[in-house]
Structure 1
Amino acid sequence: MTSTLDCEAAAFVHPSAQLYGRVRLEEGASVWCNAVMRSEAEHIRIGRFTNIQDFVMIHAEPGRAVEIGDYCSITHHATIHGCKLGNNVLVGVNATIFNDAVIGDNSIVGQHAFVREGTQVPPNSIVVGSPAKVIRTHNSWIANRANALIYHRNALAYAKGDHRAWEGPDFERWLGATLERLQSEFEAL
């Protein structure tokens, strides 16, 4: 199969990232150090302003594409395999989400969680454990979107060679204004 990488709209793809097969990165997406995406038979779609952090592994297998929504953060060492994630989802460090699982919008999958094959997680859920279970309902729209926007800002800085974008008064001002804007947007929903 020939690779069909569509990454032009991405904010940043680290040189050590490995993307194979049919992979599409939407506007503002970022892929960080040593992340791997393989899609030999299906496709992988990474939504707008979504970040795929260091050492994340994403694999689409026959009959199971990977769809990750907008403003998501897939954190370090997570494994995403043949599943779908809604918008504004945060996946914790070392979490695994397996075949045919669906994670609803505005949810958090906790670190080291194992989401079993076919699990359906409703929107606004906090999911933890192995096997993962919903332990609480909470709309994490603001926190998850803020995290994605922080990574987008960082990706733009990295693309320019600036590896210290999270320090100093400029960052603090930007963060305060961003959180205030997100709160207003959330209240208008």
Structure 2
Amino acid sequence: MEELPVTDDRFPGATILEFDGKYPQIADSAFIAPGARIIGDVTIGPEASVWYNCVLRGDIHRIEVGARSNVQDGSVFHVEGPRPDTDGEPTVIGEDCVIGHMAVVHGCQLANRAFVGMGAVAMDGARIAEGGMLGAGALLSPNKKIGPGEIWIGRPAKYYKTQDEAQIAKIKFQTERYCKLAQRHLAELRGATS
């Protein structure tokens, strides 16, 4: 079987594909790990990182990942396309967001500094306000809204409490750590291919 063309030399080992005339727009300072799949109408901002074996498939609507946000290993982003009753739902991630390992983010929107925990699922039309958190393993049902700084947990997710300053500082630390870690991985990968 013939290999798919890898169309962006900046990110060796990642698959970056055009779909339906739309090619992913990725900032030069972003990190896209080997094994990641970025397809179609996807925009990735400065210093954002998409880690190993993630899939961001913008084939029937758009996906945006804001500056310094990180999408951790094995996560899947997709969208809800237009239907007779709706224009569909893009997936829009603000700046400085943390998306934990193996999360599924589908047709929803996260404001700046939002957090989606490991293995969590955020569904069509859901919204997470600035600094809001969807806990690990939680399921945010369609059209549910997490308010600013709120933590929601469970399946289905329900309000648990509002974050304190210590929790907000941990998320900020996590974002900064992933920006630095992405640069270290990039340096290792470049060293391995030179």
- 1:110-121 matched pairs, under 5 angstroms: 110-121=135-146
The residue number in structure 2 matching 1:184 is none
Counterpart amino acid of residue 180 in structure 2 = R
Moved over 4 A (4+): none
Q: Post-superposition shift, 1:2? A: 2.5
Q: Which residue is 1:142 aligned to?
A: 169
The SS at the match of 2:24 is strand
Match of 1:34 in 2: 53
CA contact (8 A) 2:80 2:89 kept: yes
Task: Identify unmatched segments of 5+ residues in structure 2.
Answer: 1-19, 82-87, 190-194
Separation (CA, whole Å) in 1 of partners of 2:159 and 2:29: 32
Point out where structure 1 has 5 or more consecutive residues left out of the alignment: 163-189
Counterpart AA for 1:130: R
Cross-structure match for 1:129: 154
- Matches of 1:9 and 1:52, distance apart in 2: 17
Sequence identity, in percent?
30
Aligned: 1:85 with 2:104: no
Normalising by structure 1, report the TM-score.
0.82
CA contact (8 A) 1:9 1:29 kept: no
Structure 2 residue 30 is the aligned partner of structure 1 residue 11 = yes
Deviations 1:119-140 (A, max 9, x none): 0111100110000011101254
Tell whether 2:69 aligns with 1:44.
no
In structure 2, what is the equivalent of residue 21 of structure 1? 40
Distance of 2:152 and 2:21 partners within structure 1: 37
Q: Give CA-to-partner distance per residue, 1:15-57, whole Å, 9 cap, x none.
A: 2000111110111000000000111121100011000010000
- Which structure has more helix as a fraction of its residues? 1
CA RMSD of aligned residues (A): 1.3
- Asked if 1 retains the 8 angstrom alpha-carbon contact of 2:117 and 2:137, the reply is yes
Checking the alignment, whether the CA contact within 8 Å between 1:10 and 1:25 is kept in structure 2 is no
Q: How do 1:161-172 and structure 2 match up within 5 A?
A: 161=188
Query: Using the alignment, how far apart are the partners of 1:42 and 1:30 within structure 2?
Result: 21
Amino acid at match of 2:65: I
